[in-house]
Amino acid sequence: MAEETGGTGLGHRSVSMERVSKGVFEVTNVRGGTMRIGGGDNADFTPVELLLTAIAGCSAVDVDFITVKRAEPLSFNVTAAGEKLRDEDGNHLGDITVRFSVAFPEGEAGDKAREMLPKAIAMSHDRLCTVSRTVVLGTPIDSGVAAD
């Protein structure tokens, strides 16, 4: 198996999940971080909410890394939304949107960051964000039973 790299570098990624109760799973990453996911019956994130989180979070990290070189933001908020659909293609999300609301301080550094913000968002969407690029490209998923 390939070595786990984590972070933003290239390489293998994985998570493991263990069932806690009906529809509830504990997810663990290779660094030991854990979280619970569920089917929406409690406060745990659902897989669809995690997909939206991953799309928004990936772009948010990209945009932050780019714009913070110019100025530290005063506020930085991102929302992601989509419509869950069921049609001839089965269940899926449609009309996914990611919206940034970022404020920078007054002055030359803030002006440079404000000017860079739309470019950074486009760069993330068009080539940097692994998550949204994977969704846009429609990467195949190989699902099956693990070999013992």
Share of the chain above pLDDT 90, in %: 87
Claim to verify: residue 41 and residue 53 sit in the same structural domain: no
Model confidence pLDDT, tens digit, residues 55-74: 999 999 999 999 999 999 99
pLDDT at position 13, please? 87
The domain tally of the chain equals 2
**Are 124 and 87 contained in the same domain?**
yes
Query: Are residues 63 and 130 located together in one domain of the fold?
Result: yes
Whether residue 30 is found in the same domain as residue 65: no
Shared-domain flag, residues 91 and 64: yes
Question: Mean pLDDT for the chain?
Answer: 94
What's residue 5's pLDDT? 64
Q: What is the pLDDT of residue 133?
A: 96
Instruction: Give the chain's count of helices (H) and strands (E).
Output: 3, 5
| Same-domain pairing of 20 and 61 | no
Looking at residues 78-91, what average pLDDT do you find?
96
80 falls within a domain:
yes
Does residue 62 contact residue 123 with C-beta atoms inside 8 Å? yes
Residues 37, 90: one domain?
no
Query: Would residue 24 count as lying in a domain?
Result: yes
Provide the CATH number for the domain around residue 74. Answer: 3.30.300.20
Residue-number span of the structural domain to which 21 is assigned: 15-45
pTM of the entire predicted model: 0.89
The answer to whether the beta carbons of residues 1 and 12 sit under 8 Å apart is yes
Q: Do 130 and 102 belong together in one domain? A: yes
Q: Give the pLDDT mean for 118-124.
A: 98
Do 72 and 131 fall into the same domain?
Answer: yes
**1: pLDDT strictly greater than 60:** no
Question: Does 91 reside within a domain?
Answer: yes
In a domain, 7, yes or no: no
Q: Does residue 25 form part of some domain?
A: yes
Which DSSP state fits 147? Answer: P
pLDDT tens-digit profile of 5-20?
A: 667 778 888 999 999 9
Res 2: pLDDT: 62
Model confidence band, residue 3 (pLDDT cutoffs 50, 70, 90): low
DSSP letters along 96-145, please?
Answer: EEEEEEEE--SSHHHHHHHHHHHHHHHHIIIII-HHHHHHHHT------P
